[in-house]
């Protein structure tokens, strides 16, 4: 169970084409978002779909795969770990963000038409 302390698995659809950057040290970085849907019936018996958006970041070879193959609407399965970080915005306000650092990526479908 030690290896399962910080593990995230998601299956969802890409919100857009990954944004690719190369760092000053030459590492490739891919940022993208994935939407997951949960469907349930409310107290009235109506079907309700709840969508959650997740920010993802991939480095190196995983970023290469994301750049080459991922497009908006594609269904993917990802595995990674949850990262919490903070930054200061242009107005000097401290912002906090949670994102998933992707270690493994599996393409389940092509982009939606």
> Are 13 and 35 spatial neighbours (Cβ–Cβ below 8 Å)?
yes
pLDDT of 112 over the 80 cut = no
pLDDT digits (tens, 9 = 90+) for 69-111: 999 999 999 999 999 999 999 999 999 999 999 999 999 986 5
Calculate ∠ Cα 82-11-54, nearest 5°: 45
**Helix (H, G, I), strand (E, B), or coil: what is residue 105?**
strand
Res. 3 pLDDT band, cuts 50 70 90: low
pLDDT of 113 over the 60 cut = no
> Are 73 and 108 spatial neighbours (Cβ–Cβ below 8 Å)?
no
pLDDT of residue 92: 94
Q: Chain-wide mean pLDDT for the chain?
A: 92
**CATH annotation of 2-107:** 2.40.50.140
DSSP string computed for 47-72:
EEEEEEEEEEEEEHHHHHHHHHH--T
Domain ranges in the chain are: 2-107
CA–CA dist 78, 100 (Å, integer):
9
Q: Please give the average per-residue pLDDT across 24-51, as a whole number.
A: 95
């Amino acid at each position: 169970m030690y290896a399962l302390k910080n593990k995230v698995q998601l299956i969802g659809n890409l919100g857009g084409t990954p944004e690719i950057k190369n760092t000053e040290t030459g590492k490739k970085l891919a940022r993208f978002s994935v939407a997951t849907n949960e469907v349930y019936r409310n107290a009235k018996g109506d079907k309700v779909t709840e969508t959650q958006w997740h920010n993802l970041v991939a480095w190196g070879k995983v970023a290469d795969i994301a750049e080459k193959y991922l497009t908006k609407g594609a269904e993917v399965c990802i595995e990674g770990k949850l990262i919490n970080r903070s930054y200061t915005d242009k107005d000097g306000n401290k912002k906090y963000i949670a994102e998933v650092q992707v270690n493994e990526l599996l393409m389940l479908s092509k982009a939606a038409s």
